[in-house]
Structure 1
Amino acid sequence: MEPTDTDRVFQSYGRCCKNELFFIDFYDRFMGSSPEIRAVFVDTDMKQQRHLLRNGIMQLILHARGMPDTKLRALGQSHSRSGYNIRPDMYGLWLDALLATVHRHDPEYSDELAAAWRCVLQPGIELIRGAY
Structure 2
Amino acid sequence: MDSGIFAELGFQIDNVEMEANSPIDTDNTYRIIFLRSFDRCFRTVKTDIAFVNGFCLRLKARDSGIREILNRLPVMKQTQKLRCALYTLANVIREVNEDDVLLLALATYCHRAMGVTSAMIDVWLECLIETVSEYDEQFDEIVATAWRTALSPAIETLKSGLGGEN
TM-score of the aligned structures, taking structure 2 as reference length: 0.72
Match of 2:87 among 51, 58, 61: 58
Tell me the number of residue pairs that the alignment of Structure 1 and Structure 2 aligns: 130
Q: Which has the higher contact order (CA 8 A, sep 6+)?
A: 1
Q: Is the Cα–Cα contact under 8 Å of residues 70 and 78 in structure 2 kept in the other structure?
A: no
Instruction: Tell whether the 8 Å contact from 1:5 to 1:117 is kept in structure 2 after alignment.
Output: yes
Moved more, 58-67 or 9-18: 58-67
Deviation at 1:43, TM superposition (A): 2.2
The 5 A counterparts of 1:1-132 are 1-2=10-11, 4-17=29-42, 18=44, 19=47, 20-65=49-94, 66-67=96-97, 68-80=100-112, 83-132=113-162
Specify the structure having the higher radius of gyration (Cα).
2
State the 1:108 CA deviation.
0.8
- Answer with 24-33 or 39-48: which moved more: 39-48
Say what the alpha-carbon RMSD is for the aligned residues. 1.6
> What's the secondary structure of 2:62's corresponding residue?
coil
CA distance in structure 1 between the partners assigned to 2:104 and 2:78 by the alignment: 16
Name the SS of the counterpart of 1:79 in structure 2. Answer: helix
Give percent identity, aligned residues only.
Answer: 24
